């Protein structure tokens, strides 16, 4: 069987995960080229026996025979790279978000539509076994009509303030995953957002114009609700929980732990903290995400996460920002272009 040829752009934390998974676990493809702006990243190419290393995206696209590209470069390059790849006729996996501007996202989606290539967006949590199980139960009507979706999503620590400044803000950088999860689990459209935010972790984040703690209420089109609580810093680690309440019952996904031990001593019962951060917690999801990208490439079926999924989550994020700024409920239609 002829192997699909894949190129990977960007060898940061996520790029390396995708490269590792693609190299080791999927015999039906081969990674023929990787690109990164740093010379040092060539060592990574060598480690995974990738024959070509380039420093520009144009050079990557020019490597002969590439069928698909996996884009893991910084957010501000996503839109340009996706457009170039589409125009070169490559199938595309791109990390979220496509862009922080809804206008630009729409333009890119329009170009994608014209070229006929496929685009998959990297909302990796959709591929997490815990959340998959919840969605499957919801879809099997185990809890009936959804009334309330509850998402707890807290990071172990904030990113550097320099990053905060260019991140688009907590809602577009961090909560965007939760917005997508609310849509994924419920299968519903969000119509309104109310968000309260505070600076309780680091005053520097406030000076950078952002918040670090928030509670967000989403209203779906049928008036059912989702509520998300976020914090940039949970001293006990990465807190990723989900609960769905409906007319027939309720289902919860707990955190994942490095092990299940319980220690009983004179001073109490104790156990380990949850898996520390996204690399550990969502390890399986990254592999499954590539699995489904490759499967869709091979089989020609629809991509499991598409451009509209990215568009909706960005719009919800923009509405949340507006809601905090104006301390009022904001309709999605107010921000949607």
Q: What is the largest CA-CA distance in the chain?
A: 68
Length of the chain: 337
- Considering the rule CB under 8 A, would residue 260 count as an interface residue with its own copies? yes
- Considering the rule CB under 8 A, would residue 258 count as an interface residue with its own copies? yes
Each residue 1-40 as x (binds its own copies by CB under 8 A) or -, in order, gives: -----------------------xx-x-------------
- Considering the rule CB under 8 A, would residue 231 count as an interface residue with its own copies? yes
Give the span between the Cα atoms of 326 and 136, in whole angstroms. Answer: 37
* Residue among 186, 213, 285, 288 that touches its own copies (CB under 8 A): 213
Could you count the other beta carbons within 10 Å of the beta carbon of residue 45? 21
Query: Shortest distance, CB of residue 187 to its own copies, whole angstroms?
Result: 16
- Considering the rule CB under 8 A, would residue 265 count as an interface residue with its own copies? yes
Give the span between the Cα atoms of 196 and 216, in whole angstroms. Answer: 6
Give the span between the Cα atoms of 61 and 313, in whole angstroms. Answer: 29
Q: Which lies closer to its own copies via its Cβ, residue 62 or residue 251?
A: 251
Q: Contact, 25 vs 287, CB < 8 A?
A: yes
Q: Is 259 exposed, middle or buried (0-12, 13-18, 19+ CB in 10 A)?
A: exposed
Q: Contact, 191 vs 115, CB < 8 A?
A: no
Query: Shortest distance, CB of residue 78 to its own copies, whole angstroms?
Result: 30
Give the span between the Cα atoms of 187 and 220, in whole angstroms. Answer: 10
Q: Which of residues 62-121 bind its own copies (CB under 8 A)?
A: none
Q: Which residues of this protein are in contact with its own copies, per CB under 8 A?
A: 24-25, 27, 47, 129-130, 133-134, 137, 142-143, 145, 147-148, 150, 152, 154, 194, 196, 198-201, 213, 215, 217, 219, 223-225, 227, 229, 231, 233-236, 239, 245, 247-256, 258-266, 268-273, 327-329
């Amino acid at each position: 069987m002829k192997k699909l040829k894949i190129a990977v752009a960007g060898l940061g934390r996520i790029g390396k995960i995708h490269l590792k998974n693609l190299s080791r676990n999927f015999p039906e493809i081969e990674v023929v080229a990787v690109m990164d702006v740093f010379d040092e990243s060539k060592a990574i190419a060598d480690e995974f026996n990738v024959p070509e290393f380039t420093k520009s995206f144009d050079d990557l696209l020019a490597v002969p025979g590439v069928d698909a590209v996996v884009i893991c470069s910084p957010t501000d390059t996503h839109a340009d790279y996706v457009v170039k790849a589409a125009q070169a006729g490559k199938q595309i996996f791109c990390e979220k978000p496509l862009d922080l501007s809804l206008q630009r996202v729409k333009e890119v989606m329009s170009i994608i539509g014209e070229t006929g290539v496929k685009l998959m967006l990297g909302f990796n949590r959709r591929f997490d076994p815990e959340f998959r199980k919840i969605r499957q139960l919801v879809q099997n009507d185990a809890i009936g009509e959804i009334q309330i979706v509850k998402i707890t999503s807290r990071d172990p620590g904030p990113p550097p303030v320099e990053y905060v400044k260019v991140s688009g803000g907590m809602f577009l950088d961090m909560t965007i995953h939760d917005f997508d999860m609310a849509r994924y689990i419920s299968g519903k459209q969000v119509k309104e957002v109310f968000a309260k935010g505070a600076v309780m972790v680091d005053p520097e984040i406030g000076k950078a114009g952002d918040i670090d703690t928030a509670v967000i209420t989403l209203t779906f089109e049928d008036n059912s609700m989702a509520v998300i609580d976020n914090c940039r810093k949970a001293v006990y680690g990465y807190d990723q929980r989900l609960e769905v309440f409906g007319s027939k019952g309720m289902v919860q996904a707990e955190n994942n732990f490095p092990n299940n031990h319980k220690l009983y001593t004179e001073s109490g019962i104790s156990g380990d903290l949850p898996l520390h951060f996204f690399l550990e917690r969502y390890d399986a999801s990254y592999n499954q995400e590539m699995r489904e990208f490759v499967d869709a490439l091979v089989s020609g079926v629809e991509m499991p996460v598409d451009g509209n999924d990215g568009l909706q989550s960005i719009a919800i994020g923009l509405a949340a920002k507006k809601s905090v700024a104006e301390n009022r409920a904001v309709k999605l239609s107010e921000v949607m272009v």
